[in-house]
């Protein structure tokens, strides 16, 4: 088996993604390779999207997702858009069906270059998110940071978009909160047996939200697509917004539509940075001298 495979460093609204072409192989990108790639500034990333041959009939590929600490992730919306752009550049196709551990994702590239991903239906049941404690209403759960009589953050909404999310609603500008300090504490809080993505969200209007996410297994990120989806549906579910909203992330704006059939449609850009080859076992890579597609 050939030792190296093609890869591309891309981004979705600044969410750094490594798309690795593992088609035609039976091995996987190892956690050791992910950690090594993230340790190099040239290939530091938020998620790896490893494209494998399809496992399910009617799908184009199976996508294996790794975080920068080598752990697995169930979903990555920004990464899925990057995969679509890479495969569309290779094949000229505009519609794709992907299989992930979180389920089946349909995705489309539009004429303006933006990409829509059907992220599926959100899950609000406490044991499906999952939480370690039962809550009948997950629009607001008992969890806080800071003094008990004057918490800095409290009463988050929780949801799953294939991965667990906690959204803390704030009234002040997002950058006034020290998410680097409490993000790791909340990510690893006993309430979340599988850890959680932690988002600060400030509602500006019924159609616009500012947000910032501490991403499970990756840390502070410029954008997190699944967190944008979880924030949008939680805002609508709590009456803060409608079901059609724009999210302002540090990396840019993303559009979320929570359709009447309960599916969440995320639309935004993807950007190709550079390509190369990588050993999926070790993470040793070589950069192409020209920007090449797969």
**Residues annotated catalytic, as ranges:** 76, 224
Q: What value does the CA radius of gyration of the chain take, rounded to a whole number of Å?
A: 18
**Which residue has 């929780």 as its token pair?**
158
User: Pairing relation of β-strands 197-205 and 164-169?
Assistant: parallel
Greatest C-alpha distance within the chain: 61
Count of beta carbons in the 10 Å neighbourhood of residue 284: 15
DSSP structural state of residue 14: T
Torsion region of 168: left, alpha or beta (phi above 0 gives left; psi -120 to 50 gives alpha): beta
State the DSSP H helix or E strand holding residue 171, giving kind and residue range, or none if neither: none
Provide the angle, in degrees to the nearest 10, between the axes of the packed helices 225-237 and 77-91: 130
CA angle at 191 for the pair 188 and 194, rounded to the nearest 5°: 55
What is the rounded distance in angstroms from the CA atom of residue 14 to the CA atom of residue 244?
A: 23
DSSP label of 174: G
Tell me, rounded to whole angstroms, the distance of Cα 178 from its chain centroid.
Answer: 21
Task: Give the H/E segment covering residue 32.
Answer: helix 31-39
Contacts of 38 (CB under 8 A, 6+ apart): 44, 45, 68, 69
Q: Which 3 state secondary structure label does DSSP give 103? A: strand
Q: What is the DSSP letter of 176?
A: G
State the CB neighbour count (10 A cutoff) for residue 28.
Answer: 15
């Amino acid at each position: 088996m050939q030792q190296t495979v093609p890869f591309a460093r891309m981004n979705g609204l600044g969410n750094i993604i490594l798309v690795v072409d593992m088609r035609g192989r039976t091995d996987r990108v190892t956690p050791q390779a992910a950690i090594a790639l993230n340790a190099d500034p040239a290939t530091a990333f938020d998620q790896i999207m490893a494209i494998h041959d399809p496992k399910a009939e009617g799908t184009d590929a199976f996508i294996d997702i790794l975080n920068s600490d080598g752990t697995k992730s169930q979903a990555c919306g920004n990464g899925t858009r990057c995969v679509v752009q890479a495969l569309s550049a290779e094949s000229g196709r505009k519609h794709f069906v992907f299989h992930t551990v979180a389920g089946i994702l349909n995705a489309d590239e539009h004429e303006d270059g933006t990409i829509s991903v059907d992220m599926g239906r959100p899950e609000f049941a406490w044991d499906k998110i999952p939480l370690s404690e039962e809550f009948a209403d997950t629009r607001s759960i008992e969890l806080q940071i800071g003094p008990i009589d004057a918490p800095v953050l409290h009463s988050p909404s929780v949801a799953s978009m294939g991965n667990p999310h906690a959204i803390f609603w704030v009234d002040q500008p997002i950058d006034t909160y020290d998410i680097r300090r409490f993000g790791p504490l909340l990510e690893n809080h006993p309430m979340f047996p599988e850890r959680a993505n932690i988002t600060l969200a400030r509602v500006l209007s019924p159609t616009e939200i500012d947000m910032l996410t501490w991403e499970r297994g990756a840390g502070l990120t410029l954008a997190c697509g699944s967190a944008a989806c979880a924030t949008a549906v939680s805002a609508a579910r709590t009456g803060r917004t409608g079901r059609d909203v724009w999210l302002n992330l540090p990396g840019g704006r993303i559009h979320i539509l929570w359709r009447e059939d309960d599916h969440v449609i995320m639309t935004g850009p993807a950007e190709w940075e550079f390509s190369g080859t990588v050993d999926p076992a070790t993470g040793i890579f070589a950069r192409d001298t020209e920007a090449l597609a797969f």
